[in-house]
Amino acid sequence: MINNSIQSLIQNFLPDFTEIGSLINGEIVLGTGEEIQLYRAHDASLLLSFRDADPSIIATLDQVAHQAQQQWQQQTAAQRGRILFQVAQLIRQQAEYLAQVECLTSNKPINDAKGEVLRVAEMFEYYAGWTDKLHGEVIPVPTSHLNYVRYEPIGTVFQITPWNAPIFTCGWQLAPALAAGNAVILKPSELTPVSSILVAKMIELAGAPKGLVNVIAGYGHTIGQEIIAQADIGKVCFVGSPQTGRHIASAAAARCIPCVLELGGKSANIIFEDANLDQARQGAMAAIFGGAGQSCVSGSRLLVQDSIFETFVAQLATASQKIKVGNPESPSIDIGPINNRKQFEHVCHMLNIAQEEGATIAGNTQPILSDEGFYIQPTVLVGNNEMRCAQEEIFGPVVVAIPFKDEEDAVRIANQSNFGLAGAVWTNDVARAHRVAASVKAGTFWINSYKTIHVSSPFGGYKQSGYGRSSGLDALREYSEVKSVWVETANQPTFSFKYGPSEG
Ligand code: NAD
Tell me what pLDDT residue 32 has.
97
pLDDT grade for 501, boundaries at 50, 70 and 90:
low
Q: How far apart are CA 35 and CA 21, in angstroms?
A: 11
Please write the tens of the pLDDT for every residue from 2-38.
Answer: 777 788 888 877 787 788 999 999 999 999 999 999 9
Q: Which pLDDT belongs to residue 126?
A: 98
Q: How far is the CA of 300 from the centre of ligand 1 (A)?
A: 18
364 φψ region: left (φ > 0), alpha (ψ -120 to 50), beta (else)? left
Rounded to the nearest whole angstrom, what is the distance from the C-alpha of residue 119 to the centroid of ligand 1? 21
Tell me which of 103, 296, 393, 407 is the catalytic residue: 296
Query: How far apart, in whole angstroms, are the C-alpha atoms of residue 38 and residue 51?
Result: 11
Residue 394 CA, ligand 1 centroid: distance in Å: 14
Out of 34, 106, 119, 164, give the residue to mutate to test ligand 1, the one with the largest number of ligand atoms within 8 Å of its CB: 164
The span from the CA of 252 to the CA of 246, in Å, is 10
10 lines ligand 1 (CB under 6 A): no
Q: Are 441 and 398 contacting, i.e. CB atoms less than 8 angstroms apart?
A: no
Average pLDDT over residues 427-437: 98
* Any ligand 1 atom below 6 A from CB of 107: no
The residue that leads in pLDDT, 476 or 1, is 476
Secondary structure of 445-497 in HEC code, one letter for each residue: EEECCCCCCCCCCCECCEECCEECCECHHHHHHHCEEEEEEEEECCCCCCCCC
Q: Which residues contact 290 (CB under 8 A, 6 or more apart)?
A: 298, 335, 451
Give yes or no for residue 298 CB within 6 A of ligand 1.
no
Q: Is 162 in the pocket of ligand 1 (CB under 6 A)?
A: yes
Say if ligand 1 is within 6 A of residue 218 CB.
Answer: no
DSSP 15-72: TT--S--EEETTEEE---SSEEEEE-TTT--EEEEEEPPPGGGHHHHHHHHHHHHHHH
143 CA from centroid of ligand 1 (Å):
48
> Does the beta carbon of 164 sit less than 6 angstroms from any atom of ligand 1?
yes
pLDDT tens per residue across span 199-242: 999 999 999 999 999 999 999 999 999 999 999 999 999 999 99
Ligand 1 centre to CA of 241 (Å) is 5
Q: Which whole number is the average pLDDT over 385-406?
A: 98
Closest-CA residue, ligand 1 atom 31, reads 241
Q: Is the CB of 244 under 6 A from ligand 1?
A: yes
| Binding site membership of 393 for ligand 1 (Cβ less than 6 Å) | yes
How many angstroms separate the CA atoms of 57 and 331, rounded?
A: 40
Q: Give residue 447's pLDDT band: very low, low, confident or very high (50, 70, 90).
A: very high
Residue 445 buriedness (CB in 10 A; 0-12 / 13-18 / 19+): buried
Rounded Cα gap, residues 405 and 423, in angstroms: 18
Lowest mean pLDDT among 4-18, 292-306, 329-343: 4-18
Q: Identify which of 161, 228, 239 to mutate to test ligand 1's pocket (most ligand atoms within 8 A of the CB).
A: 239
Q: How confident is the model at residue 276 (pLDDT cuts 50, 70, 90)?
A: very high
Residue 244 CA, closest ligand 1 atom number: 2
Q: How confident is the model at residue 270 (pLDDT cuts 50, 70, 90)?
A: very high
Q: Round the average pLDDT of the chain to a whole number and report it.
A: 96
pLDDT of residue 371: 60
- Of ligand 1's listed atoms, the one at least distance from the Cα of 245 is 2
C-beta of 394 in contact with ligand 1 (< 6 A): no
Ligand 1 atom with the smallest distance to the CA of 262 is 41
Q: Does the pLDDT of residue 503 top 60, yes or no?
A: no
Asked whether 272 and 309 are in contact (CB, 8 A), the reply is no
First-residue to last-residue Cα distance in the chain: 76
% pLDDT > 70, the chain: 99
Confidence of residue 504 (pLDDT cuts 50, 70, 90): very low
Residue 392 known to be catalytic: no
Average pLDDT for residues 105-128, to the nearest whole number?
Answer: 97
**What pLDDT, on the 0 to 100 scale, is given for residue 14?**
78
What is the average pLDDT across 299-314? 98
Annotated catalytic residue, options 226, 262, 393, 407: 262
What is the value of pTM for the model shown? Answer: 0.97
CA nearest neighbour of 397 among 259, 302, 255, 474:
302
Residue 264 Cα to ligand 1 middle (Å): 9
Q: Is position 372 annotated as part of the catalytic site?
A: no
CA-CA-CA-CA torsion sign (232, 469, 80, 115) = positive
